[in-house]
Amino acid sequence: MKLYRTFLRISMIIFYLFLSSSACRARWASLAPGDSPGQVRARLGETTRTQDFLLPEAPFFGPQESLTGLIPAGTLVEEWVYVQGNEEQYVWFRCDQGEVDEDCSLIKTASYPVGAVY
């Protein structure tokens, strides 16, 4: 009987984790290029961390390298990172006005295992 209860508890925990993981992925999948920071915040909530930078000349190292070819070097980029479970989800915005604001638009998203990007 005790073994059955333990099995039932473990099964419930796994089921709950599966459901919460599916909900996060559904919100993540609903993002599209051109979305504003406000739209992304409404879907994903507050970020784990953010930074802004000017896209450097290629080649360079890091997840931001995937933006080369999408926007020109020297473009202001706002990067949001969400940590969900064992995954870090990156959201990059292009800011054409030279400042980070609601006029920025989503360029691209990417996911990496936690700790894989330094």
pLDDT band at 28 (very low <50, low <70, confident <90, very high): low
Residue 22's pLDDT band, with cuts at 50, 70 and 90, is very low
| Beta carbons of 33 and 107 less than 8 angstroms apart | yes
The residue extents of the domains of the chain are 31-113
| Contact call for residues 77 and 55 (beta carbons, < 8 A) | yes
Q: Please report, rounded to a whole number, the percentage of residues in the chain having pLDDT higher than 90.
A: 53
C-alpha 98: how far from chain center: 22
Q: Which of 84, 106, 85 is nearest to 95 (CA)?
A: 106
Q: Give the global pTM.
A: 0.72
